[in-house]
Amino acid sequence: MTDQVFIEGLECQAVIGVFEWEKQIRQTLVLDLQMDWDNRPAAASDDYQHALCYDTLSKAVTELVEQTPHELVETVAEKVAALILERFAVPRVRVRVAKPGAVANARTVGVCIERSQA
């Protein structure tokens, strides 16, 4: 099954970073999310109940990322993946967390992970 639901460029304002000055401010994190999901039942029935709602998912992820301070983008990626697997019963998720302000002469930096149901 290769169907997916995706969310690209989800901007969150997070307390994120290892340095003391970073703990005093909010910085932008940009998330790209790809969820394996069988889209055929939703398409066949045209019924929202069968769809993985990208709006609900975006709000849940934003709340998670913005409500708690973190030092590492790696931690954010793991927590986001765990939330999506557990709360939304997604079989496999890919999470990319970019921190565009982190390195002055790079467009962006960050991490990508892929996690599946145990």
List phi, psi (to 5°) of 24.
-100, -5
Q: Count the Cβ atoms, other than its own, within 10 Å of residue 30.
A: 16
Q: Determine, following the binding rule CB under 6 A, whether residue 29 of this chain makes contact with ligand LV4SOB2L.
A: no
Which of residues 38 and 78 has its CB atom nearest to ligand LV4SOB2L in the complex? 78
User: 10 Å Cβ neighbour count for 7?
Assistant: 16
Distances (CA, A) of 3 to 41, 51, 65: 11, 12, 26
Q: Which of 23, 59, 79, 99 is catalytic?
A: 99
Q: Is 23 an annotated catalytic residue?
A: no
Size of the site for ligand LV4SOB2L (CB under 6 A): 9
Q: Which of 87, 44, 61 is nearest to 8 (CA)?
A: 61
Q: Name the minimum Å distance from CB 70 to ligand LV4SOB2L.
A: 8
| Among 1-9, 12-20, 60-68, 88-96, the segment contacting ligand LV4SOB2L (CB under 6 A) | 12-20
Both tokens of 115, joined, read 């996690």
d(CA 111, CA 118): 22
Per CB under 6 A, 73 contacts ligand LV4SOB2L: yes
Q: Which among 6-14, 16-24, 40-48, 54-62 is the span making contact with ligand LV4SOB2L, rule CB under 6 A?
A: 16-24
Nearer to ligand LV4SOB2L, 5 or 76 (CB): 76
